[in-house]
């Protein structure tokens, strides 16, 4: 394995020695083309990158706005359902209070009627000891 690598290097060295001018011209052209490519990229990609970043920020802002709208609709529905449940519970509570008040009034009316009858029965009348005729 090591011998193969050494032989590869020696073959490359022989090629470079036999074609020095061609080799250095190709190296120079490769370095120049790399430099030109880097320069063009440096001059244009900054503008492209800034445009891409601006577009990305605009898209993120739009997505954030859309998400906020979706969540607002979702939570408005949840709040509406909860508000309906609260209203129904309040109505049920009010009906129960009205029923309790009505029952209390009815009981008091019955109690007052019984007290009035008892008071009438216990009233001293002129014919005590005499039973009324049936």
Buried b / exposed e across 6-34, counting CB within 10 Å, b at 16+? eeeeeeeeeeeeeeeeeeeeeeeeeeeee
Helix or strand or coil: residue 125?
coil
Q: What is the per-residue pLDDT across 71-86, written as a single tens digit (0 to 9) for each? A: 999 999 999 999 999 9
Domain boundaries, the chain: 22-118
| Entry pTM | 0.41
Contact 16, 23 (CB under 8 A): yes
Range name among 11-20, 55-64, 118-127 with the lowest pLDDT average: 118-127
pLDDT tens-digit readout, 2-51: 888 888 888 888 887 888 888 888 889 999 999 998 888 777 766 666 77
């Amino acid at each position: 394995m090591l011998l193969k690598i050494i032989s590869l290097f020696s073959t490359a060295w022989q090629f470079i020695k036999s074609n020095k001018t061609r080799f250095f011209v190709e190296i120079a052209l490769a370095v120049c083309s790399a430099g030109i490519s880097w320069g063009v990229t440096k001059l244009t990609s900054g503008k492209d990158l800034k445009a891409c970043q601006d577009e990305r920020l605009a898209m993120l802002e739009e997505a954030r706005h859309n998400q906020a709208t979706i969540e607002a609709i979702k939570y408005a529905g949840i709040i509406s359902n909860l508000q309906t449940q609260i209203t129904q519970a309040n109505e049920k509570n009010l009906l129960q209070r009205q029923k309790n008040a009505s029952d209390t009034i009815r009981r008091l009316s019955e109690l007052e009627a019984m007290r009035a009858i008892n008071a009438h029965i216990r009233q001293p009348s002129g014919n005590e000891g005499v039973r009324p005729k049936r």
